[in-house]
A and B are shown apart, each in its own frame.
Chain A
Amino acid sequence: MTTCAECLQEISTARLADVRPGTAVAYHAASCPSCAGVLEDIRFAEWQLATSLNELQPQSSTQSLIQGALEGSERLRRRRLARWMRGGLAAAACGVFFVFMEMRTETDPENDVITETIRLKCMTATQASDLATMYLRSSVSRIFVSDELRTITLRARSDEYAAARMAIDQFEAAPSCVSPPPSADADVIVTPGQEKADPSSAPRQDDR
């Protein structure tokens, strides 16, 4: 014998189309007006809901829908194309930037620096420094002076170094200079890190 609680429990989750004559719920509902009322109302409410949803018709015409769909699709296509183009441009910009940075690195003055110590014969270190200062204009340029040892150390880009060295050599090679020319080995003291420098950029003692 089905109780009201069991009947309502079944009604609360069962598919109403399955509540047919002969089932326990239907049998109980036939003898229990309360459960029958609940069952009938739920059935009616769900039927009403389905009907109201099914009877609602779209207000927009199919023609306008088709037109809108075609236009909207075209808009989406263009937007997609624009997105691809933006992506392509961004990639190209990245490429250009990368190449620029690479080129900039290649001409980085830090990689083109020569450091050399020159032993002076005629000029004092201070005089040579004043002379070289005119040619060493870049930020990496440095001059280290030692009057006691009569040497000057130049640190500069290769072009600046070449110009400064030429100017110093001109004065050092002047006829008024009485000191005997030192050996080529003693002329230039190579400091650590100079191996990178291009030796051809610096004038050789033999050339003078």
Chain B
Amino acid sequence: MVRARVALARGGDVNSFAELVTDLHPFVFRWALTFAHDADDAEEITQETFVRMHHKLHQFKGQSALEGWVYLITRNIALERRRKSKRRKWLSESVLPGLEDVYTTDPGARVDRQRLSAYIRHFFVTLPPRQREVFDLVDLQGHEPAEVADLIGSKPGVVRANLFKARAAIRGHLMELHPAWREIDL
């Protein structure tokens, strides 16, 4: 079905291309969010992805899944944009409260979970792109590491190593914020 649509779209059929875009739009936007600075940036990456997809549709041989091919386009565009704009100004950085405010000081040490969410978003976006990508695909989207390795054209060992580093970085920060951390005798 998808291949037939691709073949038609390749031949210039606008309706088939429109159907492909309609199916892929949410996925591409979600993938773009992993690399983007904010939602607007993700929108731009999404738009550019479909431009390039249409332009290079004749290069898609159908030997792999269309989603995987489009994911690679999205990833390349995002990384190109990242290289072009060296700035690392993240949306979450501008609204972060002080680190010590995450947990209240009452005896129950209740967690301010809203702030905790802001922090994990901050730690997530400050990860190196490869680690962020792998962490998102495996831990947040639920793909298997071997599947991710296939998708991004990397070795499973590299994926696991990046995943390990990403988890350690994010959770290490979260643990340091937790009041119980200081009580635990390490």
* Interface residues in chain A, defined as those with a beta carbon under 8 Å from any beta carbon in chain B: 4-5, 8, 11-16, 33-35, 37-38, 41-42, 44-46, 48-50, 52-54, 56-60, 62, 65-66, 68-70, 72-73, 76-77
Q: B5: CB under 8 A from chain A?
A: no
Instruction: Give chain A nearest CB distance to B181 CB in angstroms.
Output: 7
Q: State A13–B120 Cα separation when bound (angstroms).
A: 15
Instruction: Give chain B nearest CB distance to A31 CB in angstroms.
Output: 14
Q: Report whether B25 and A68 are in contact in the complex, using a CB–CB cutoff of 8 Å.
A: no
Additional pairs, 11, CB under 8 Å, beyond known A66-B21, A68-B51:
A12-B175, A42-B175, A46-B140, A48-B113, A56-B42, A58-B29, A58-B42, A62-B21, A65-B46, A66-B22, A72-B51
Q: Quick one: closest B residue to A33, CB to CB?
A: B180
Q: Report whether B116 and A41 are in contact in the complex, using a CB–CB cutoff of 8 Å.
A: yes
Q: Report whether B184 and A8 are in contact in the complex, using a CB–CB cutoff of 8 Å.
A: yes
Q: B90: CB under 8 A from chain A?
A: no
Instruction: Give chain A nearest CB distance to B157 CB in angstroms.
Output: 15
B111 surroundings in chain A (CB, below 8 A): 41
Instruction: Give chain B nearest CB distance to A40 CB in angstroms.
Output: 9
> Main secondary structure on chain B at its contact with chain A?
helix
Q: State A68–B138 Cα separation when bound (angstroms).
A: 32
A50 surroundings in chain B (CB, below 8 A): 139-141
Q: State A53–B39 Cα separation when bound (angstroms).
A: 10
Tally inter-chain residue pairs, CB-CB below 8 A: 140
Q: B154: CB under 8 A from chain A?
A: no
Instruction: Give chain B nearest CB distance to A120 CB in angstroms.
Output: 80
Q: Report whether B117 and A48 are in contact in the complex, using a CB–CB cutoff of 8 Å.
A: yes
* Residues A4 and B25 in contact in the complex (CB < 8 Å), given A12-B171, A41-B178, A48-B120: no
B116 surroundings in chain A (CB, below 8 A): 41, 44-45, 48
Q: State A42–B113 Cα separation when bound (angstroms).
A: 11
Q: Report whether A56 and B183 are in contact in the complex, using a CB–CB cutoff of 8 Å.
A: no
Instruction: Give chain B nearest CB distance to A104 CB in angstroms.
Output: 45
Q: Report whether B43 and A12 are in contact in the complex, using a CB–CB cutoff of 8 Å.
A: no
Q: Quick one: closest A residue to B180, CB to CB?
A: A34
* Residues A35 and B139 in contact in the complex (CB < 8 Å), given A12-B167, A41-B178, A65-B21: no
